[in-house]
Structure 1
């Protein structure tokens, strides 16, 4: 597929970053507001990411993995200000996809994954960033994507606690354990 080729091409550069993008609490949103509204929210997310390309290294490519997952393949390092700009734009504009009451409350009633009706925070965006420096030289593109996807669990803890979109850059060197940093 195209994304795998982009990652393969980027690995030949001296620097590259991969940003894995995922919507938090999208299933509950889709279940509560319907598939049509869910599709609109996915298109909105694509627009926010496309607009964010201006802040990212020139030549960055945006791909839709499927569902509410996207990837950005960047030929260079990504600045924290670019990541902040994408998250801020998403949070600033997402209110269009919620009612006045939901926006005021910062949440809505929906059924969670266990089938219980609960209060669900408004959807947020999680960005997981993996840089070339933090990969084994022979890492297959699928391994790179898996590493970025695994980092998303840490980002989702932040977005859930802070109720705002957020990002993490994996600063662990290849073959060394450690923590991701924001």
Structure 2
């Protein structure tokens, strides 16, 4: 719902939300996984890399902080309603719920990766899956690739 948020509140306010999320990610990863990495892919897409032992704690804390702080980026009226009326990507007017956070998690514990594109593709799939669920959340890819898929360049 970030596009609709930008349409209603303006790009400056949208940039503030991006900055808020970046600070949440930075502070949580720095606090729970000091050897971790946080990067901004572009728009409202970020990446963070942490050791598996820190994964659950980082995801839980990031989601908790996001869900606590994001309602205050809306007007009191929209916050109380839990939505605002806005246009979707097709131009139809609909109820736009408050933003949620979806995290797609990929690990190399179950399968090896031979190319960064594999990681990116699986992370996008997991994020799409997580977006299909209600509220903020994260989903960990636990699928195995077949040998033929692993060997492709």
Identify unmatched segments of 5+ residues in structure 1. Answer: 1-24, 177-182
| Higher strand content, 1 or 2 | 1
| Partner residue of 1:167 out of 138, 145, 153 | 138
Q: What per-residue deviation string (whole Å, max 9, x for no partner) do you get for residues 107-158 of structure 1?
A: 11111011011110001111111011233342x1122112101111110011
TM-score, L = length of structure 1: 0.75
Correspondence list, 1:21-170, <5 A = 25-54=1-30, 56-138=32-114, 140-158=115-133, 161=134, 164-170=135-141
> Aligned-residue CA RMSD in angstroms?
1.7
Give the 3 Å change call, closer, same or farther, for CA 35–143 of structure 1 in structure 2: same
User: Quick check: 1:56–1:79 contact (8 Å CA) kept in 2?
Assistant: no
| Contact 2:29-2:50 at 8 Å conserved across structures | no
Query: 5+ residue gaps in structure 2?
Result: 148-153
Return the TM-score normalized by structure 2.
0.88
Once residues 95 and 41 of structure 2 are traced to their aligned partners in structure 1, the CA distance between those partners, rounded to angstroms, is 29
